[in-house]
Amino acid sequence: MFIRIFFVGADEVMVVTKISKGFKITIPNIIRKELDIAEVDNIEWIINENRNIELIPRKKKSMDDLIGIISDDDLDAVESCRKASKGELGE
């Protein structure tokens, strides 16, 4: 594994990692700790208008987190599950 860390400013850290065989990457420890990323969490990959990649961590919701979020009786259960898996409920 290849990781290079640069301290850009007081609040900025840039980390360079290598893409491994099978196109795998490792989220560096400094990033995992700062953003409290766990093995069960998801990462959204977005290609922005400048063709740069943005990574957005999404915490996995537990059943305790989901209880009480849905209050609309007309809400579709399948749509609710999709939103919950993306971390979009309760925000």
Mean pLDDT value of segment 27-49: 90
Q: Given this model, what pLDDT does residue 51 score?
A: 92
| Beta strands 3-9 and 12-17, pairing class | antiparallel
Q: Residue ranges of the alpha helices (H) in the chain?
A: 29-35, 63-66, 77-85
Q: Given this model, what pLDDT does residue 24 score?
A: 92
Q: Given this model, what pLDDT does residue 16 score?
A: 86
Rounded to two decimals, the pTM is 0.55
52 is written with which tokens? 């740069």
Domain boundaries, the chain: 61-91
Mean pLDDT value of segment 28-56: 90
Instruction: Judge residue 80's burial from the number of C-beta atoms within 10 Å of its C-beta, 0-12 exposed, 13-18 middle, 19 or more buried.
Output: middle
Query: Does the pLDDT value for residue 2 go beyond 60?
Result: no
Q: Given this model, what pLDDT does residue 13 score?
A: 78
Query: Does the pLDDT value for residue 60 go beyond 80?
Result: no
